[in-house]
Amino acid sequence: MFDKPVFVFTTDIDWASEHCIQTLLRAMQQRGVIPTAFATHESPVLAAANAEGNVNVGLHPNFLPGSSHGDTREEVADHVFALFPEARSYRAHAMVDDSHISMAMKARDILYDSNICLYLQAGLVPLHHWTGIPRFPMFWADDIHWRRDGDFRLQPYEDLFFSPGLKIIGVHPFMFTLNLSDHETYTRLKPKIPTLTSEDADELFSSSHGAQTFLLELIDAVHEKGFAFQTLEEVYNAYPKEGIV
C-alpha cells in the first residue's frame, strides 16, 4: 500500500478563529482536498463543514498543565469528545503522549491516531501501538519545519515528498491564514489566534514564502503528478488490520 506516496492533509485547529478555519477549509475545498481536522473547541464553521462532508473531524485534546480542556486525562478526553462524539481519531496538542493517555482514548473507542511527527523520514508506514491503535506518523508540519530552519519553497524537498510512504501533512489554520514562516513572528502574533479577523489577516499576511504558499504549491504538485489527497479515515479503512489486536 505504501510503495508509492500516500498523501493526507491534516490540520490542528488550535483554537483558531472562525476566519482562520474558514480560510483554510475554503482553500482546500477549492482544490478538491478533504482535510482531517483535529478539533480543539466549538466552531460553527468546522461543524458545518463536517455536516457537509467537506472535512474529516478528529480530536485535538490538550493534556498539558493548565489546559482549558480539564485537569485530568479523563476530563480532557471527556471535553473533546463532547465537541464531536463521533470522532474516531486524535492528535494531542503538542503531541503529548503516554500509556495512560492512549488507554483513555482507546476506552472511548478511538480507532487510530496521528500523534507523532517523523519529520521528512522516508518510507513511513503505520506504527503498531501496543494498545492496538494504529498510529499514522506525520511526515511534515509547518511549525516543525520552521524549527528545523526549513525553506518554505517546495523544490528542495520535492523528491522527498514524492518518495514512497505515508506523507501526512500537518498545518495550523492560523499559520496558513497569515502565511507564517518563523517562530518569532508566530510568538508575537499568537495572542490573535482566537480572534483573527479578515481585516487583521489582510494587514498581517506575509507576502514571502510561508506555510500557505508552501502547502498550495505542494497540493498543485501532487495533482500535477497524478496523485490525490486522502482523508486519514480513508487510509485507516484501506490499511490491513491483520495482526493488530
Going by C-alpha positions, the residue among 159, 191, 202, 218 that lies closest to residue 19 is 202
Q: Residues 92-145: pLDDT tens digits?
A: 999 999 999 999 999 999 999 999 999 999 999 999 999 999 999 999 999 999
Domain ranges of the chain: 5-238
Q: Taking phi first (over 0 means left), then psi (-120 to 50 degrees means alpha), and beta for anything else, what does residue 181 get?
A: alpha
> What was the pLDDT predicted at 241?
75
**Which residues in 34-75 belong to E strands, given as ranges?**
36-39, 56-59
pLDDT in tens, 77-97: 999 999 999 999 999 999 999
For the stretch 151-205, pLDDT in tens is: 999 999 999 999 999 999 999 999 999 999 999 999 999 999 999 999 999 999 9
Q: What nine digits make up the cell of 34?
A: 478533504
Is 5-238 assigned to CATH 3.20.20.70?
no
CB 143 within 8 A of CB 175: yes
Handedness of CA 174, 177, 182, 188 (dihedral sign): negative
For residues 196 and 16, is the Cβ–Cβ distance under 8 A?
A: yes
Strand pairing partners for 127? 135
CB-based contact 177:24 (threshold 8 Å): yes
Summarize pLDDT for 18-67 with one digit per residue, the tens: 999 999 999 999 999 999 999 999 999 999 999 999 999 999 999 999 99
- pTM (2 decimals)? 0.96
List, in order, residues 6 or more apart from 47 with CB less than 8 Å away: none
